[in-house]
Amino acid sequence: MQIDHGVSRWWQGLTVAVISMLIAGAIGCGDSITAPSDPVPVAAFDGPRNGEFLIVEFTGTVNEGTLILPPDLEGIIAPGGSVKGRFILDPTIPDASPDSTIGVYTELRPGYGMSLTIGGAHLESDPHSPRFTVQVMDDHIFGIAPDGMDRFGLMSFANTPLLPSTVVPTVFQIFLSDPSKNAFDTDALPALPLDLTAFKGTMFAVGRIATLIGESPRVSVGFDIDTMTLVEHVYPLTVSFYPRSLRLHDRSLWLAVRLQVAATAPSELDPASLRLVGGVGPSPDPPFGRDRDRDGILEDWFLLFPRFGLDPYLNVGMHELKLEGRLRTGELVRGWGQVSVRRGIP
């Protein structure tokens, strides 16, 4: 939804004085937030609610290896079928292994993990309680590599059923292997996407979904990885709304938003790119900032969003409103802030 230009002119009369009153809490901030309602479920592979993350997509092909399918997936997955998936990881997560030849980056927070559409079937890391590990081997010596190997591994140990079947694969993994040991020089998380030419060759860029032997019903599907693409680098945004309590159909012209960008100064943000609840853009007036420590860098930004534009998205109760935009360098910023909504003014 775009904001009409005639509406934009309403903003021209707003002065810094008004915004200052707002920031000082002089108007509209009297209502406290009521108890939060049930937490909003994490959207499947839209990423975590509050964290920095990368979204990397891959494509591939079901290979000619062992194929075991439960009856309800017969004909839905077949050799040569297409594979498309993504993984979501935090590029700042620390290495849990002191061994300098292997990096172990384990994610238990909701929203991280990987997903896969294979033929007509779909699988994801558990969106609420993932057990997702990224493994980076650099000249690492282990069972199948007595002379050492470089390898990038993705492993998801807690998964949803492989829909439309009820089978839950315990094994959901991807390995990009380089026996020449040239792919990595350290066990640090590499820049993504990876150059797959470093891993090309028979069985050097493969994935598998499977149940463990003894689990029933059984599934085992192997696939080759053909491409890898970085889709987004997302930074969290801290968002607060003023006022924090709204009435439906309020005649107020605006809702003020205070925002902070983690890991970067808000001046790196492109204010015109911001969209509230997916479609409402801010006033074109320059954001008003606050320099708490008087070092010349604004820590907070205040922007105004047209209040009436939000009504189609609101009903009575607690809401977490999403604010999304881009840094001037192109990365996505995303955050949620709470407002409570009361019945409309008659």
**Binding stretches for Ca ion (CB under 5 A):** 95, 97, 99, 103, 138-139, 150, 181, 184, 187
* 197 DSSP β-pair partners: none
Minimum Å gap between C-beta 108 and Ca ion is 18
Is 65 or 148 the residue whose CB approaches Ca ion more closely? 148
Is 137 or 332 the residue whose CB approaches Ca ion more closely? 137
Torsion angle of alpha carbons 123, 127, 131, 133, nearest 10°? 70
Nearest residue to Ca ion, by Cβ distance, number only: 97
What own/partner pairs with CB < 8 Å and gap ≥ 24 does 106-109 have?
106/131, 106/132, 106/133, 106/134, 107/132, 107/133, 107/134, 108/132, 109/48, 109/51
Which helix or strand (DSSP H or E) is residue 5 part of?
A: helix 5-8
Q: How far apart are CA 87 and CA 27, in angstroms?
A: 44
* 246 DSSP β-pair partners: 341
Minimum Å gap between C-beta 176 and Ca ion is 13
Is 103 or 110 the residue whose CB approaches Ca ion more closely? 103
Is 146 or 214 the residue whose CB approaches Ca ion more closely? 146
Distances (CA, A) of 92 to 5, 191, 259, 324: 41, 11, 22, 21
Beta-carbon contacts of 9 under 8 Å, excluding residues fewer than 6 positions away, are none
Minimum Å gap between C-beta 195 and Ca ion is 14
Is 181 or 247 the residue whose CB approaches Ca ion more closely? 181
Burial of 238 (0-12, 13-18, 19+ CB in 10 A): middle
Contact 236, 50 (CB under 8 A): yes
Contact 58, 117 (CB under 8 A): no
Cα–Cα nearest to 319, from 302, 342, 288, 290: 342
Kindly provide the b/e burial profile for residues 203-212, where b requires at least 16 CB atoms within 10 angstroms of the residue's own CB: ebbbbbbbbe
Minimum Å gap between C-beta 224 and Ca ion is 23
Is 52 or 187 the residue whose CB approaches Ca ion more closely? 187
Minimum Å gap between C-beta 171 and Ca ion is 24
Minimum Å gap between C-beta 143 and Ca ion is 18
Cα–Cα nearest to 126, from 113, 140, 141, 145: 113
Minimum Å gap between C-beta 247 and Ca ion is 55
Is 146 or 296 the residue whose CB approaches Ca ion more closely? 146
Cα–Cα nearest to 192, from 58, 68, 284, 95: 58
Minimum Å gap between C-beta 139 and Ca ion is 5
Minimum Å gap between C-beta 208 and Ca ion is 24
Is 184 or 288 the residue whose CB approaches Ca ion more closely? 184
Is 100 or 229 the residue whose CB approaches Ca ion more closely? 100
Torsional class of 21: left (φ above 0), alpha (ψ -120 to 50), beta (otherwise) = alpha
